[in-house]
Structure 1
């Protein structure tokens, strides 16, 4: 019998049986902060149980939907639960970021056509990162002053006004995380946003589900990136990550086995050589996504032609974003006769306007403190310290590209005693020429160490 039909019949008869092909999630105790799931079972069974638990806890459940693969999983699982519990129509919020594929738009319309979905198609000017240009570090989808540059016409489904938010002054515009609380006024009761965040995508995302053992996937929404400078909501909003323990293989197996629709852009990305783990639908001009700007040129050339004039630096970034010009891979050599600390200050000033420069400097200082909490050792130019994972190249990349979403984190992993000794020797060899340079600079200036 077809495996999907088998699963459907089991569930119809009250038999709770996980799909045999969905990979079990096993807790690795070496991940010191990632707590084990409180139940046993495969990732599909666990996600279904979490979402049902969420519906029991909250008065209002909303799915944050981008059209991407992860939010597609969350949407379909939430719809399953909403239909079973009589909680339809299910609210689905789609923040239209303007520079998106035509197929992404078509897929969202297919979702909106479901009578069990109440889609909010948000097209308000919000703040997005433009890492393509140091002189213009932000851009604003659907900004009225840029109407002549819009990549697409405003969709007929668009919601263009968000009560409580005045986007008139570009300098005062906020990001989507800083605004999302306005969608959930106190009259709705306790509200939760379901997001397709997975722990294996970054250390920050792993940390988000590492704070508690019970209901570790439900987080109080502080607003914004860290809660700073955001519009405060009434304290009635939470975020939930029901598929936090899924991996890329799980994400693609579920739609195949369960017959779910998905965004066909992924088929195009597959055809041009992007492996499943590298396939992303994200705002195109940020630090990480701009490394893949060429995918827009290949997948939808007409869209790319309009994107070229949408933000400053897009054409240059398409050509050079994966080079040291944008601190990808190797970084430029430090000028002689200057310390790394002084060079970082120069780079930050050269690459960012004052407001963004202050943010970048604050982030650099925070990571430096993390290093020196663990060791008094100086940083080597380009070899990570075996205890902390930091080197000066890490900070040079921050000074050139920023780290506004905190996705750049040191790479750490457990090491055997022999591997640690080898890493330590490599670090010391890389550090020594810089120590010699520092000694020469002190000798020339008469400073004492």
Structure 2
């Protein structure tokens, strides 16, 4: 059994818990093994503030259920993440001081910035998680268990299938640096397996899924995570149906939340889902320049830095005369086929960190230096 193997080989074990169906089942499985061995396990829960009351209630239930064997890390600190529903506030900070919060964190939550020596105010989620893992390990061999399944998305499948450093050749593990490994013990489970387990063994689960089912959301689309990312925003309309009182607070709290929910199901140029179109007399390059010109200057400058790097990379390799205006299947997820149409889709989707152009978020402390450096490089390259 994979989880038993984790306990055999790793002195330190921590579960990354989101209160979604996958991480809930994983936590149940891990705690069963922990109870047998009378071992304590860390449980990391990032409280995003703008979450369903049902999700918070379930998280509290799970922390209470396994209180005897868990070291709880319920984090309610200012952490920055993407806000894909606004170009004026393309990132937002959960638990930002001075704001009217959607709710107060639980009394036992970690709200003191001094709790973690690595923490920096408003650090990005992508920075916080690996830093937490390194801190948690304390230099000991450690496993951070993550409840992702490869059939949930192409990116998750890639996490499991790509060439990478693993623990003793176990493909369901990934070396994260130093003594820390991520482990994905339920990576090959199907959605039906998750619900079969909960039903057969009468395990508690997040009742938000019952409400999603009643709202007509198919099993394959029922997900729980922070709400304002370029993919996650498609579920914003559910807040109005399931918890309208929470939705009213979200609209007041996060810039663009209401407009994002209004157009979440659109497949065209509103949010860039599935397909996009352009004005008939414009090329895709011209349309990209038009989109950049309509953005707030700070946001436009951010995108220009990313796009210039993208153009320079391909100019030095396959396309010395510049990337095509468009290519067949250039907006697909499987391959990064460079084109100005792909750039336009990135802009229309408000994909702030340009993940559709194969970028990853820039580390918080390096971003200001990055902007100054890119301004100089763009002048040297003659791009954007």
Q: TM-score, normalised by structure 2?
A: 0.78
Cα deviation, 1:24-47, whole Å, max 9, x if unaligned, reads: xxxxxxxxxxxxxxxxxxxxxxxx
Confirm or deny that 1:56 pairs with 2:12.
Answer: no
Which residue does the alignment assign to 2:174? Answer: 219
C-alpha distance 245-389 of structure 1, shift in aligned 2 (>3 A): same
C-alpha distance 253-345 of structure 1, shift in aligned 2 (>3 A): farther
SS of the aligned residue for 2:144 comes to strand
Which residue does the alignment assign to 2:126? Answer: 177
SS of the aligned residue for 2:188 comes to coil
Which residue does the alignment assign to 1:340? Answer: 284
SS of the aligned residue for 2:13 comes to strand
Structure with greater Cα Rg:
1
Structure 1 runs, 4 residues or longer, greater than 3 Å off: 165-168, 185-188, 348-352, 362-369, 376-395, 402-410
Instruction: Give the conservation status (yes or no) of the 8 Å contact 2:21–2:205.
Output: yes
Structure 2 counterparts to residues 4-403 of structure 1, below 5 A: 49-87=1-39, 89-113=40-64, 114=66, 115-146=68-99, 149-161=100-112, 162-165=115-118, 167-168=120-121, 173-180=122-129, 181-182=131-132, 184-185=135-136, 187=138, 189-210=140-161, 211=163, 214-221=169-176, 235-323=178-266, 324-334=269-279, 336-337=281-282, 339-348=283-292, 350-351=294-295, 353=299, 356-358=302-304, 360-361=306-307, 365=311, 378=324, 380=326, 390=337, 393-403=341-351
Query: Alignment RMSD, CA only?
Result: 3.2
Distance 1:253 1:363 in 2: 47
The Cα shift of 1:372 comes to 5.0
Unaligned segments of structure 2, at least 5 residues? 359-384
Instruction: Give the conservation status (yes or no) of the 8 Å contact 1:111–1:117.
Output: no
Distance 2:95 2:183 in 1: 28
The Cα shift of 1:158 comes to 1.2
Distance 2:218 2:72 in 1: 31
C-alpha distance 76-404 of structure 1, shift in aligned 2 (>3 A): farther
Instruction: Give the conservation status (yes or no) of the 8 Å contact 2:326–2:342.
Output: no
The Cα shift of 1:201 comes to 2.2
Distance 1:77 1:313 in 2: 39
Cα deviation, 1:173-208, whole Å, max 9, x if unaligned, reads: 322231122353553612221001111222222222
SS of the aligned residue for 1:61 comes to strand
Distance 1:64 1:124 in 2: 16
Q: TM-score, normalised by structure 1?
A: 0.68
Instruction: Give the conservation status (yes or no) of the 8 Å contact 2:230–2:349.
Output: yes
SS of the aligned residue for 1:110 comes to helix
Cα deviation, 1:115-158, whole Å, max 9, x if unaligned, reads: 23332211000011111111110111111121xx2111122121
Cα deviation, 1:204-223, whole Å, max 9, x if unaligned, reads: 2222222268211111225x
C-alpha distance 388-107 of structure 1, shift in aligned 2 (>3 A): closer
Unaligned segments of structure 1, at least 5 residues? 1-48, 223-234, 411-449
Q: Which moved more, 1:133-142 or 1:77-86?
A: 77-86
Instruction: Give the conservation status (yes or no) of the 8 Å contact 2:49–2:101.
Output: yes
Q: Which moved more, 1:112-121 or 1:376-385?
A: 376-385
